[in-house]
Structure 1
Amino acid sequence: MSRSAPPPSSLDPPVVPPPVEPESGWAPTPALGRAVLLTGLLLVAGVLLGRVDLIVLAAPFALGTAYALRRRPAAAPQIWISTDDDHLVEGGECDGRVSVGNPDLVGYDVAVLRTRVSPWLRVERAMFAGVTVATAGERIASAVDRPFVTSVSPDSAVDLELTGTARRWGRHPLGPAGVRVAVAHGLLVSRAVIVEPARVRVYPATEPFDAVEAMPRAAGLVGAHHSRRPGEGGELAGVRVFAPGDRLRRIDWRVSLRARQLHVAATLSDRDAEVVVLLDVLAEAGASGGVAGAASVLDTTVRSAAAIAEHYLHRGDRVALQEYGPAARRLRPGTGRRHYLTVLEWLLDVEGGNSPHEPYEFAFGTHMISPDALAVVLTPLLDERSAQMLARLARSGRFVVAVDTLPAELPMPKDRGWAEVAYRLWRLDRDTMIEQLREHGVPVVRWAGAGSLDQVLRDVARLAVAPRAGAR
């Protein structure tokens, strides 16, 4: 089961865009042109030929046109889009609304509305003016792939309510939407009024993740990890003789009475740690099928980053995020619930893209990562520069864990004309690269949700406390 992301209302409350105020103007329809032309021809013919019957025949057309045009609207129609995305997570129900407003005192005979929706927002039901007008079936991609027609009363608005499912994380557009209305019994039509799309924020579904192993080094003063240093904490390290400065509540009276000398219980200090989650976005592979389908490289990267950040922030650690790619974005270390909301917002803008330049130098240097921090690199290892970056981090003395985000069942690309032998050779070359990284001291593990990093963190923590040979 996936955990729902908390509402980010404290950071970025949803803002309903103001109604669009287009330039006012109404154009005559072909019906008005035909009515005027027919009335004029009948009147001219009646006068020239001296036939009163033609003038009488033209009278209904002239009176009907004049009656229809007696009240013409002065303002153009309004349209705006509003969304409710406070608690929207992958797989959750999304609601949107496209409203058509009539600010004038003249009613709209016909209003034709049409809108676009991101393919990752599957609209399953559309209600226009309170009536269900479309539902998505098995053969229909979306319930909004059609125009919606209704009438609008004076000084009122009509809503197109859209209900569906958010299939993938990201900022997905709802819109643009456009409307045209007809008045005066179809003799006048407005110009097309188009509103810019509204962005629907869909947060990644955090996969279950729980690493129970100790951190390599805990550098803070307080936290949930048991360090190797003695101090105030909850982990028992042993019993020793009482010394000046020891707290009286630490005295072990049972041992003291038996040894006839005061003894205290020694504990290990509880410390926090800094975790740097590095997202390799140099390459994208695999087709994304949404929350219920296959996961691409970016899908696995974003969801696992959200799960790792949520786990360590919940334990009181500091978490920082960095992108290894063209944008070279970086999120400073932080703790607490507010920082977790910031992490979710930051992950929504993750995009994959290749870069002809080496992103290592301007993305971050070794001074940007604390020597005591744990660097979790989420990478598909599709680019040789990614492996070189991992090796440089390991040689600089950082604690690095590489998480393989490449889909296990990645199909052979057919659009590039790959042969099966070439695809197998590429797989063998990638496996060789992974083994070389392990020889350089970079553990590589495939992401598998809960417990993915336990064994790796256990090995890294053991190496952190192991004695190092001095240089001669």
Structure 2
Amino acid sequence: MSRPAARVVASRRLAVYLGIGAAGLLTAVLFGRPEAVAVVVPLLLLPALSLAAAGSPQLSIAISQARERAIEGSEVELSVSLEASRPLWGLRSELRVGREVTARPLGPSVSELRPGAAAELRWALTCQRWGGRRGGTLGISAQDRLGLFRYHWAELRLPGLRIYPAADKLRRLIPPARPQMSAGDDVSNLRGDGIEFGGIRQFLPGDRVRHVNWRATARRGSLQVNELRPERNADVVIFLDTFTELELGKENSLDRAVRAAGSIAGTYLRSRDRVGLIGFGGTLRWLAPGLGERQAYRIADSLIESEVIFSYAWKGLEVIPPRTLPPGALVVAVTPLLDERSLRALLDLGGRGHDLVVLEVSPLDFLAPAHDEPALLARRLWEMERQALRTSFVSVGVPVVRWDADRPLAAPLLAASRFRRERRLVAPR
């Protein structure tokens, strides 16, 4: 609980009273009309009494917030408890929050404060957009009984609020090509102890009897055993392109990219995979792959700090710490495919044999409609260039799937999985 000092300000009513009183006294002196003094004496007496009692009142303020972390679309309650040392009237409050949050008053308004009686102001903070909000400010003002003096308690700091991006529900993710050796939920291509069926082969000394496939044995006339595929975890790295940003109305490409990255990372972590993050832009951010709830919070905290920082500096894979890209990791790039530096880095990743998938946040959703023939022609040429760019990725075995605003996130991820599966089927042996 804090007790900030009040700033005392004379109101307009006091100026009016003093002006009328001075005019009455001047009239009595100039025109010899003593009755004018009797008329204005009350107007001068009231300011004198208020001035005598106009010392700075003590106001105890306690600010509490329901929680410090929230998800986009949720509400967080903010309450302010007030207790005054003497009566106050005309209580007003002004809550100033950032663009990530909107405030809605809760409960009845409070206009008076009595000594010893606490009053409570409450708001519902609606989280509109992800971000690390630094907290807002609260201004409180009140007046004396006659309204001649106002007291201001301004710039009271509010608690911070970290708003995490809303995550889409994803049932299926892109299966990694090379799972690791630790237990997990990803079915490995290797043969070993597991529960997933992997094929049938001839019985060999040392095989377990419970693995014998009696139907295949009866059909082929020799002992046949089932091969099983173990379930392993994988290393997954989310590559978030923060070099460029497109905006149309209240939506922008970075918002969609951050939400997609958060959804993908959270789903992989729930599957017991190790997940890391690379924020590739004007400022390089990275997190080495890790497991568990603590890693989920690290990734979420890093994502909400994402921003587009303008830079001419050329960056390539050499600026990324090697431990951030472990061997055999699946790299999921979330990018609008607009900046040359990101394009070169991703093509370099694919050319070096990394298991790479590119999720293209479609920039078409953030372009104004073309109305005349030259604009339509320019749009078609630009789309042809982008198709050629996608083809250059596919030529090195990297699938590029476009995510439009009217499609759920699961749709392009499913298309990427289908591409990788068909590519393995047609690959030469």
DSSP-derived class of the 2:237 partner: strand
Q: Indicate conservation of the 8 Å contact 2:335/2:359, yes or no.
A: yes
Identity among equivalent pairs (%): 26
Match of 2:105 among 126, 130, 139: 126
Give, in whole Å, the separation in 2 of the partners of 1:70 and 1:445: 75
Give, in whole Å, the separation in 2 of the partners of 1:74 and 1:410: 54
Match of 1:454 in 2: 414
Structure 1 residues 390 and 42, CA, compared in 2 at 3 Å: closer, same or farther? closer
Structure 1 residues 257 and 166, CA, compared in 2 at 3 Å: closer, same or farther? closer
Query: Is the aligned partner of 1:269 residue 2:230?
Result: yes
User: Per-residue deviation at 1:378?
Assistant: 0.6
DSSP-derived class of the 2:140 partner: strand
Look up the equivalent residue of 2:258 and give its one-letter code.
Answer: V
Query: Is the aligned partner of 1:162 residue 2:141?
Result: no
Q: Indicate conservation of the 8 Å contact 1:275/1:375, yes or no.
A: yes
Give, in whole Å, the separation in 2 of the partners of 1:220 and 1:254: 31
Structure 1 residues 456 and 64, CA, compared in 2 at 3 Å: closer, same or farther? closer
User: Per-residue deviation at 1:376?
Assistant: 0.5
Structure 1 residues 49 and 421, CA, compared in 2 at 3 Å: closer, same or farther? closer
Match of 1:220 in 2: 181
User: Per-residue deviation at 1:181?
Assistant: 2.0
Query: Is the aligned partner of 1:340 residue 2:300?
Result: no
Match of 2:157 in 1: 196
| 1:69-91 Cα shifts (integer Å, max 9, x gaps) | 56445445466654445674333
Q: Indicate conservation of the 8 Å contact 2:394/2:400, yes or no.
A: yes
Q: Indicate conservation of the 8 Å contact 2:94/2:138, yes or no.
A: yes
| 1:44-65 Cα shifts (integer Å, max 9, x gaps) | 9999999986776666456544
Structure 1 residues 412 and 167, CA, compared in 2 at 3 Å: closer, same or farther? same
Q: Indicate conservation of the 8 Å contact 2:133/2:163, yes or no.
A: yes
Give, in whole Å, the separation in 2 of the partners of 1:24 and 1:397: 66
Look up the equivalent residue of 1:280 and give its one-letter code.
Answer: D
Q: Indicate conservation of the 8 Å contact 1:117/1:173, yes or no.
A: no
| 1:18-52 Cα shifts (integer Å, max 9, x gaps) | 64x54444344454466567778878999999998
Give, in whole Å, the separation in 2 of the partners of 1:56 and 1:409: 75
User: Per-residue deviation at 1:275?
Assistant: 0.7
Match of 1:360 in 2: 316
Match of 2:384 in 1: 428
User: Per-residue deviation at 1:109?
Assistant: 1.7
Match of 1:444 in 2: 400
User: Per-residue deviation at 1:234?
Assistant: 0.9
Query: Is the aligned partner of 1:371 residue 2:327?
Result: yes
Match of 1:5 in 2: none
Structure 1 residues 367 and 117, CA, compared in 2 at 3 Å: closer, same or farther? closer
Structure 1 residues 71 and 220, CA, compared in 2 at 3 Å: closer, same or farther? farther
Structure 1 residues 371 and 349, CA, compared in 2 at 3 Å: closer, same or farther? same
User: Per-residue deviation at 1:342?
Assistant: 3.1
1:373-388 to 2 correspondences below 5 Å: 373-388=329-344
Match of 2:82 in 1: 101
| 1:256-305 Cα shifts (integer Å, max 9, x gaps) | 9979998764422221101101001111113254xxxxx53112211211
Match of 1:317 in 2: 273
Greater share of helix: 2
Give, in whole Å, the separation in 2 of the partners of 1:273 and 1:343: 17
Give, in whole Å, the separation in 2 of the partners of 1:399 and 1:335: 20
Structure 1 residues 234 and 183, CA, compared in 2 at 3 Å: closer, same or farther? same
DSSP-derived class of the 2:193 partner: strand
What is the TM-score normalised by the length of structure 1?
0.74
The unaligned stretches of length 5 or more in structure 2 are none
User: Per-residue deviation at 1:167?
Assistant: 3.3
Match of 1:180 in 2: 141
Give, in whole Å, the separation in 1 of the partners of 2:24 and 2:366: 75
DSSP-derived class of the 1:231 partner: coil
User: Per-residue deviation at 1:204?
Assistant: 2.1
Structure 1 residues 43 and 219, CA, compared in 2 at 3 Å: closer, same or farther? same
Q: Indicate conservation of the 8 Å contact 1:328/1:362, yes or no.
A: no
Q: Indicate conservation of the 8 Å contact 2:289/2:324, yes or no.
A: no
Match of 2:255 in 1: 299
Which range is displaced more, 257-266 or 159-168?
257-266
DSSP-derived class of the 1:358 partner: coil
Give, in whole Å, the separation in 2 of the partners of 1:465 and 1:272: 23
Query: Is the aligned partner of 1:241 residue 2:220?
Result: no
Structure 1 residues 251 and 396, CA, compared in 2 at 3 Å: closer, same or farther? closer
Give, in whole Å, the separation in 2 of the partners of 1:444 and 1:196: 46
Q: Indicate conservation of the 8 Å contact 2:317/2:345, yes or no.
A: no
Match of 1:3 in 2: none
Bigger relative CO (Cα 8 Å, ≥ 6 apart): 1
The unaligned stretches of length 5 or more in structure 1 are 1-17, 132-148, 290-294
| 1:425-450 Cα shifts (integer Å, max 9, x gaps) | 33322222222222232211113422
DSSP-derived class of the 2:93 partner: strand
Q: Indicate conservation of the 8 Å contact 2:70/2:76, yes or no.
A: no
Structure 1 residues 176 and 384, CA, compared in 2 at 3 Å: closer, same or farther? same
Which range is displaced more, 321-330 or 76-85?
76-85
DSSP-derived class of the 2:194 partner: strand
Match of 2:94 among 88, 102, 114: 114
Give, in whole Å, the separation in 2 of the partners of 1:68 and 1:451: 71
Give, in whole Å, the separation in 2 of the partners of 1:222 and 1:433: 38
DSSP-derived class of the 1:223 partner: strand
Q: Indicate conservation of the 8 Å contact 1:235/1:269, yes or no.
A: yes
